[in-house]
């Protein structure tokens, strides 16, 4: 059987207020035609359907239309779960009616244990949940109440969840798990690239070893497929670039095929409608014709950092407006000051600074200049005054 694996659609997402809806619709059209071209038996969406728990009306209308096209018009079964961005309870609305039409959307732990059965495959749809959900579920089961109380980490919860799922395994079928977590490749060497660490964002991480019972695990949560812990346990990544860190990554989907004794997958890239281009250059370069003529001006979105920025030299000019005129849409504008090696190193030891230290540091980071004697004096006096008023 063949499935299309995608995740993290985040319908309604913006980049600094710029709506990505048109880009998301563009990606969707390709996903749907790939599903038709490869004649898949179902479309897997591994969580973060919407960008927020209470999506905007526009987002709901858009996603509804997408579901309609996939499921009602093209008759693809859908296997979807809620992610950490979704409002699980809201998404659970009309579940029975949706299931009736093979639109399987699971949003709570207790719904995850009974798989969706197809001829050759069992699909387990495990939405994002936390250890508390697992404690509640397992103690409601009556058995192992003491054990349930001991569930503290997502690791422990997942081990119990998977072993309960295994009691429903049909030996004559392949098992696919759809879920939404950070999963690391090896217990010993958690070696996430800087790109992925920022996405994991301190969230507890599971381990690939925990998922060995499954023939394929369709993951969502991390937005790049390069964070995939193994060939069998994979992130499809998001279909659209959401920020400048993702600017250079090729987005796409997986076509997963299950055979009698193996499961294989193939990555299919998606085209972009409006590219996201990241540029870091000096002001003079940015506005020189030679440079910008070689950029996709007025076609792409730009995230621009002005290097060696000299505020005094460019004072009184509307830099953003000037850049917009040349480049078109600027979704991000940043500055790197001449005299400052790195903002990071300046802000690192913030705890060790006093009030005046923090303020002068802030001034330096935002303007690229140090406080003058007079400015320093005004600040000192102001703080003294505040102290006196306490």
List residues binding Mn ion (CB under 5 A): 8, 48
DSSP string, 265-334: EEEEE---SS-EEEEEEEHHHHT-HHHHTTS-TTTSEEEEEEEEE-TTTTTT--HHHHHHHHHS-EEEEE
Question: Would the CA dihedral through 273, 252, 86, 107 be positive or negative?
Answer: positive
Q: Is 48 or 246 the residue whose CB approaches Mn ion more closely?
A: 48
With a CB cutoff of 8 Å and minimum separation 6, the contacts of 163 are: none
Q: In angstroms, give the least distance from the CB of 264 to Mn ion.
A: 25
Q: Closer to Mn ion at the Cβ: 233 or 306?
A: 233
> For Mn ion, which is the closer residue by CB, 242 or 292?
242
Residue (226 or 362) nearer to Mn ion, CB: 226
Q: What is the DSSP letter of 30?
A: H
Residue nearest to Mn ion (CB): 48
Q: Which is nearer to Mn ion, 11 or 161 (CB)?
A: 11
Query: CA-to-CA distance for 370 and 309, rounded, in angstroms?
Result: 15
- Residue 240 CB, shortest distance to Mn ion, in Å, is 11
State in angstroms the smallest separation of the CB of 302 from Mn ion. Answer: 24
> Please, what is the minimum distance in Å from the beta carbon of residue 258 to Mn ion?
26
Distance separating alpha carbons of residues 376 and 359, to the nearest angstrom:
10
Quote the least distance from Cβ 85 to Mn ion, whole Å: 6
Rounded Cα–Cα distance for residues 312 and 309 (Å): 9
Compute the distance between CA of residue 218 and CA of residue 181 in angstroms, rounded to an integer: 10
For residues 75 and 67, is the Cβ–Cβ distance under 8 A?
Answer: no
Of the pair 23, 48, the CB lying nearest Mn ion is at 48
* DSSP-based three-state secondary structure for 377: helix
The Cα 59–Cα 65 span in angstroms is 10
Query: Is the CB of 183 or the CB of 359 nearer to Mn ion?
Result: 183
Q: Could you tell me the smallest distance in angstroms from the CB atom of residue 337 to Mn ion?
A: 33
At its nearest, how many Å lie between Mn ion and the CB of residue 48?
4
Between 8 and 246, CB nearer to Mn ion: 8
Do the Cβ atoms of 63 and 25 come closer than 8 Å?
no
Q: What is the C-alpha radius of gyration for the chain, rounded to an integer number of angstroms?
A: 25
Q: At closest approach, how far in Å is the CB of 222 from Mn ion?
A: 8
Q: Tell me which residue of 53, 49, 82, 74 sits closest to 64, measured CA to CA.
A: 49
């Amino acid at each position: 059987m063949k499935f299309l694996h995608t995740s993290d659609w985040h319908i309604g997402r913006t980049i600094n207020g710029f709506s990505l809806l048109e880009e998301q619709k563009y990606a969707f059209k390709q996903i749907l035609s790939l599903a038709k071209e490869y004649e898949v038996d179902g479309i897997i969406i591994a969580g973060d359907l919407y960008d927020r728990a209470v999506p905007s009306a526009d987002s709901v209308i858009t996603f509804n239309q997408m579901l309609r096209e996939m499921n009602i018009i093209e008759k693809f079964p859908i296997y979807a779960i809620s992610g950490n961005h979704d409002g699980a309870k809201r998404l659970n609305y009309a579940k029975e009616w949706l299931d009736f039409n093979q639109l399987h959307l699971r949003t709570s732990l207790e719904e995850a244990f009974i798989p969706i059965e197809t001829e050759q495959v069992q699909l387990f749809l495990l939405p994002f949940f936390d250890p508390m959900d697992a404690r509640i579920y397992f103690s409601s089961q009556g058995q192992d109440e003491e054990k349930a109380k001991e569930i503290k980490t997502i690791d422990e919860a997942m081990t119990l969840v998977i072993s309960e799922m295994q009691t429903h395994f049909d030996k004559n079928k392949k098992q696919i798990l759809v879920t939404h977590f950070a999963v690391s490749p090896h217990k010993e060497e958690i070696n996430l690239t800087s790109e992925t660490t920022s996405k994991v964002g301190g969230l507890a991480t599971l381990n690939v070893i925990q998922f060995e019972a499954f023939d394929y695990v369709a993951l969502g949560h991390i937005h790049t497929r390069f964070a995939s812990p193994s060939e069998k346990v994979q992130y499809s990544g998001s279909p659209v670039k959401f920020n400048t860190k993702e600017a250079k990554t090729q987005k796409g989907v997986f076509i997963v095929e299950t055979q009698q004794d193996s499961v294989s997958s193939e990555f299919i890239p998606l085209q972009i409608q409006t590219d996201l281009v990241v540029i870091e250059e000096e002001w003079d370069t940015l506005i020189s014709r030679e440079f910008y003529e070689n950029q996709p001006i007025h076609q792409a979105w730009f995230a621009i950092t002005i290097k060696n920025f000299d505020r005094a030299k460019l004072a009184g000019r509307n830099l953003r407006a000037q850049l917009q005129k040349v480049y078109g849409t600027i979704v991000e504008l940043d500055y790197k000051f001449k005299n400052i090696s790195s903002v990071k190193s300046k802000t690192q030891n913030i705890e060790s600074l006093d009030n005046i230290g923090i303020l002068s540091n802030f001034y330096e980071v935002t303007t690229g200049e140090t406080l003058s004697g007079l400015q320093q004096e005004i600040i000192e006096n102001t703080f003294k005054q505040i102290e006196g008023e306490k």
